[in-house]
Amino acid sequence: MSAPIDDNKTASISDEEGGEENPGSYSTKAGDKFNWPPLESNPEVFAKYLHSIGLPTTFSIGEVFGFDEDLLAFIPQPVLGIIVCYERLIPKSQYREQDKGSPDNYNKVAWYMHQSGKLDNACGIIACLHAIFNCPLVTLDPSTVLGSYKQRVESLSPTERKSALEKDTDFQKAHNVHAQRGQSSAITSDQSKVKHHFIAYVLNSEGDLVELDGTKAGPVVVGKVDGDLLRGSIREVKGKLERGEISESLSMMTFNLANE
């Protein structure tokens, strides 16, 4: 039986574990207007957003309609990154130790950044940055919003990359435009209405599946998946469901080459 896929999610995270001393944790005050409004978990919204800021049109965002093999067969290959949107049911303090992430894993991927309170609902675009910037096939024009940001932060630490995005007004303006699309457009200041959070999965240069979540202490190295990013990511999501860490209200998107 496949896990249900809910494709009408707006997403971010309101986390009780705040504090700038821990760059992987943050909180937002009730009633504050969002700096980075939530995005709907919709491939069309994401693709238009990413193309508008400089992702080449040879790449796109696809949708996983379910976990059954007959549905997975329709997904364009190769899958270069996975973006998952889900509702977390437990606080980070209750995660398994191996799922908390670690700064020791920074060098396990080509690129990683943290998320902060100022980047309140930017988890959707941060998940995309994790997928795109860890893909060696992507070449960006440095004159675009996306290419300029990557070039400026390439040599910076994950925390410094977070700070750079906080101050990137061109990026924020583009984000706000696309946050007005779809069902997320009405949510501008009430964090209690934002129940979901985006993360990314990628394969690193050693063939390990790695979970990238800017609210954690660092990347989570899952392990070998025989080169199958899609099914390896699905197994991880199923594990979170079985352990009661997330609800069945979830959606999954792919970062992949565009269909000709």
Q: What backbone phi and psi angles, to 5 degrees, belong to 36?
A: -130, 95
CA atoms in the 13 A half-sphere facing the CB of 229: 28
pLDDT along the chain (260 residues), means of 10: 44 39 46 79 95 98 96 93 96 93 98 93 96 98 98 98 97 92 56 76 98 97 97 97 96 92
Contacts of 29 (CB under 8 A, 6+ apart): none
pLDDT at site 11: 45
Q: Is 135 a catalytic residue?
A: no
Task: Count other C-beta atoms under 10 Å from residue 153's C-beta.
Answer: 21
Catalytic, out of 85, 114, 123, 196 = 123
Question: What pLDDT does 184 receive?
Answer: 52
Listed in sequence order, the residues at least 6 apart from 189 whose beta carbon sits closer than 8 Å to its beta carbon are 31, 32, 33, 34
Phi first, then psi: what are they for 82, rounded to 5°? -125, 135
What pLDDT does 1 receive? 30
Strand partners, 105: none
Q: Is 85 a catalytic residue?
A: no
Nearest to 117 by CA among 203, 187, 14: 14
* Stated pTM of the model: 0.88
pLDDT at residue number 259 = 81
Three-class SS state of 91: coil
Query: Which pLDDT score is estimated for 19?
Result: 35
